């Protein structure tokens, strides 16, 4: 069973559209991270959220940590082709990184 | 600072052959991880080292996979004998350790078993 469930699995949208990706678990985490992975590369950290209810913004990306620290969301405003990639949420428990199943985003020009 | 280095980038082998992957983590990072990523899925942790000791290898298929971290720096992951289902990208990552720390990944080795 997957510790972290992500939805949707695939998302194909037009440039300029908004989207939200979800990461859910039945477990409570001290922190959650979001990574982005491009083809042929390893994942790269986008953000770490630590406090329940926390909202962090990174340009057009908005990350939220659920109040109960069991879930998180990533919202992208006005998506661009450069946002295309695999988005992964990850939980860091006792120095181990557990990754979700990933959301593959394709932004068409 | 230099990133996590992995080699080779690509490897094609026949089933039942053996293969080895090499990883050089970021200098000073005590924790090193090997992940297996099957196409379209998230990375799955195979083994975690703290310095040169194994912290977690519960997901490592020990009948065919082995890993070592010499002198707490470089690491090698070996598969012997390989099966078709071992076809995946093998990612090495390192971190300083601690809550909220970041994992830094190499580019990975894409293994195809035919």
Chain A residue whose CA is closest to B4: A42
> Is A97 close to B45, i.e. CB distance below 8 A?
yes
Instruction: Give chain B's domain count.
Output: 1
> Is B45 close to A50, i.e. CB distance below 8 A?
no
The pLDDT value recorded for residue A10 is: 96
**Domain at B19, CATH number:** 2.60.40.10
Both tokens assigned to B71: 């002198």
Q: Distance (Å, rounded) from C-alpha B77 to C-alpha A12?
A: 36
Please give the CATH superfamily to which domain A5-108 belongs. Immunoglobulins (2.60.40.10)
As beta bridge partners, residue A93 has A96
Q: Could you read off the pLDDT of A24-65 as tens digits, one per residue?
A: 998 888 889 999 999 999 999 999 998 999 999 999 999 999
- To the nearest whole angstrom, how far is the Cα of B98 from the nearest Cα of chain A? 6
Q: Distance (Å, rounded) from C-alpha B112 to C-alpha B84?
A: 8
The pLDDT value recorded for residue B101 is: 84
DSSP assignment letter at B59? T
The pLDDT value recorded for residue B71 is: 85
Kindly state the percentage of chain B with pLDDT values over 70. Answer: 99
**Cα pseudo-dihedral B44, B25, A38, B15, rounded to 10:** -50
> Is A99 close to B98, i.e. CB distance below 8 A?
no
Check if B24 contacts A (Cβ < 8 Å): no
Of residues B58, B62, B31, the one with CA closest to residue B47: B58
Q: Could you read off the pLDDT of B39-95 as tens digits, one per residue?
A: 889 999 999 999 889 999 999 999 999 999 988 899 999 999 999 999 999 999 999
Domain that holds residue B44: 5-113
Map out the domains of chain A as residue ranges.
5-108
């Amino acid at each position: 069973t997957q510790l972290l469930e992500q939805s949707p699995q695939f998302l194909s949208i037009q440039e300029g559209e908004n989207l939200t990706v979800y990461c859910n678990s039945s477990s409570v985490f001290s922190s959650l991270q979001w990574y982005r992975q491009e083809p042929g590369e390893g994942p790269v950290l986008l953000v770490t959220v630590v406090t329940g209810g926390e909202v962090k913004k990174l340009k057009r990306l908005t990350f939220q940590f659920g109040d109960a620290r069991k879930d998180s969301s990533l919202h992208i405003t006005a998506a661009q082709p450069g946002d295309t990639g695999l988005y992964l949420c990850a939980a860091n428990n006792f120095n181990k990184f557990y990754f979700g199943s990933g959301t593959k985003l394709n932004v068409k020009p | 600072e230099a990133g996590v280095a992995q080699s080779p980038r690509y490897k094609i082998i026949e089933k039942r052959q053996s293969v080895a992957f090499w990883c050089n983590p970021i200098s000073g990072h005590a924790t090193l991880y090997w992940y297996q990523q099957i196409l379209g899925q998230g990375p799955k942790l195979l083994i975690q080292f703290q310095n040169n000791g194994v912290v977690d290898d519960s997901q490592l298929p020990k009948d065919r996979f082995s890993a070592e971290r010499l002198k707490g720096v470089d690491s090698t992951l070996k598969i012997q004998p390989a099966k078709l289902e071992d076809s995946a990208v093998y990612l090495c990552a390192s971190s300083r350790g601690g809550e909220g720390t970041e994992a830094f990944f190499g580019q990975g080795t894409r293994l195809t078993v035919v």
